[in-house]
Structure 1
Amino acid sequence: MSQDNDAAESQTQAQSESPIPILTLSRSIIRPFHVHDAPSIACEANNPLIARWMRNLFPHPYALSDAESWISIATTRLPLRDFAIARPDGTYVGGIGLKPLADVESRTMEIGYWLGEAHWGAGIMTEAVVAFSRWSFEAIPELLRLEAGVFGGNEGSMAVLRKAGYTYEGRRRNAVFKNGDVLDFHMFGLLREECLGSQQN
């Protein structure tokens, strides 16, 4: 009986241990995903106000099984490029990651992010994008450029990028068809020297 209790306690302890953060910030930590994030991801992501600004690969409705599948992908695709954003107390609040481009754009990566609605307006995402952008350039020496595309109407995300030092580079007209709406696609970019140079002063 005691052996069963010891095994159960060890399993519970393993499940409760969070991965080591790559960044510890004043408003959040950024760390690899863990299996225990699945219920929180499903809860935060199952929101039409989030899904409306995401590519269709982001499920809606967003089920627990979707969260479990995403965690499996994010934790086995090496090197790690996708991370959880959590409150300092460990509460999961959103995600941030990089998508490598290819061919002549092989030294560019697309940054993507989202944050649960209950956590909007607290400065969490701006701080995360600033720190994660710097981390990306420092961790990936060959990386020359980060870029982000934002659907027309998503003023909050555009404000985050501007505050994080990204330059507005133009508008791709009628480039997005989402939920029956035709939207523009607004492009932002950040260069290695802009990020590291400005933050080293």
Structure 2
Amino acid sequence: MTIRSLLPETIETARLTLRAPRVSDLEDLVAEANNWKVLEPTASLPFPYEEQHGRAFVEKTARASHHPYVIAEKTGDRLLGVIGLYFHDDRPTELGYWLGERHWGHGYAPEAVRGLRDACSSIGLVPLRARVLAHNAGSIRVLEKTGFALIEETVSVVERHKGKPLLVLEWRG
């Protein structure tokens, strides 16, 4: 049994449901993700984000190194974005997320981060880390609001952001 297998299938917050991606999310997934403002700060999502990328994402949810959740409205179950965990053998589990641009500024990101963070804490999955580009003030605020603290200032090695200032934040429970 792995720590990944102890994570809940669904996480409920006041306004959101975090759940596994499904084929029925495909239209919303592509519509929300195919936006350079959404994808630019991510490490690996392709641009343009097309249906084939969405299908591959939905199909890869069983990989042991990654555990994604769709961020969905509790009422209506519409996809707003994605949040997930990346498991590493040599360093703490990493949290990543994105929201469609039209959902920015409504408190959904901190609510989703708190929900997943608390689920991780309940199974002893701490600490959690997150990497964020230093110019991404919105994401930095989300992480600070949810208890993450700066532990390192470095530069990105990801091709899209190579050499750009990068912050590493950690939540220790």
Q: When the two structures are superposed, what TM-score results if normalisation uses the length of structure 2?
A: 0.87
Q: Match of 1:84, as an amino acid? A: V
Q: 2:63 aligns with which of 77, 83, 97?
A: 77
| Larger-gyration structure (1/2) | 1
Q: Which has the higher contact order (CA 8 A, sep 6+)?
A: 2
Say yes or no: does 1:190 pair with 2:148.
Answer: no
Task: Report which of the two has the higher share of helix.
Answer: 1
For residue 59 of structure 1, give the secondary structure of its aligned residue in structure 2. Answer: coil
The secondary structure found in structure 2 opposite 1:178 is: helix
**Structure 2 residue 54 is the aligned partner of structure 1 residue 67:** yes
CA distance in 2, matches of 1:186, 1:79: 22
Aligned match for 1:168, one of 130, 150, 165: 150
Kindly provide the CA deviation profile for residues 2-59 of structure 1, in whole angstroms up to 9, marking residues without a partner as x. xxxxxxxxxxxxxxxxxx962221221111111101111011000000111011x211
2:94 to 110, 123, 142: 110
In structure 2, distance between residues paired with 1:173 and 1:67: 29
Give 5+ residue unaligned stretches, structure 1: 1-19, 196-201
Identity %: 27
Question: Equivalences for 1:1-201 in 2 at 5 Å?
Answer: 22-55=10-43, 57-74=44-61, 76-78=62-64, 81-88=67-74, 89-103=76-90, 105=91, 108-139=92-123, 141=124, 143-173=125-155, 175=157, 178=160, 182-191=163-172, 195=173
SS at match of 1:41: helix
3-state SS in 2 of match to 1:53: coil
> Deviation at 1:175?
4.9
Aligned length: 165
Which residue of structure 2 aligns with residue 11 of structure 1? Answer: none
1:87-142 C-alpha deviation (Å, 9 max, x unpaired) = 12211110011001113x2xx20000000001000000101101111101223x3x
Q: What runs of 5+ residues in structure 2 fail to find an aligned partner?
A: 1-7
Runs of 4+ aligned residues of structure 1 deviating over 2 Å after TM superposition are: 76-80, 173-179
TM-score (norm. length: structure 1): 0.76
1:183 alignment partner AA: K
CA RMSD in angstroms comes to 2.1
- Residues 95 and 69 of structure 1: is their aligned pair in 2 closer, same or farther, counting only changes over 3 Å? same
1:170 Cα deviation (Å)?
2.4
Cα distance in 2, alignment partners of residues 35 and 153 from structure 1: 34
8 Å CA contact 1:33, 1:83 repeated in 2: yes
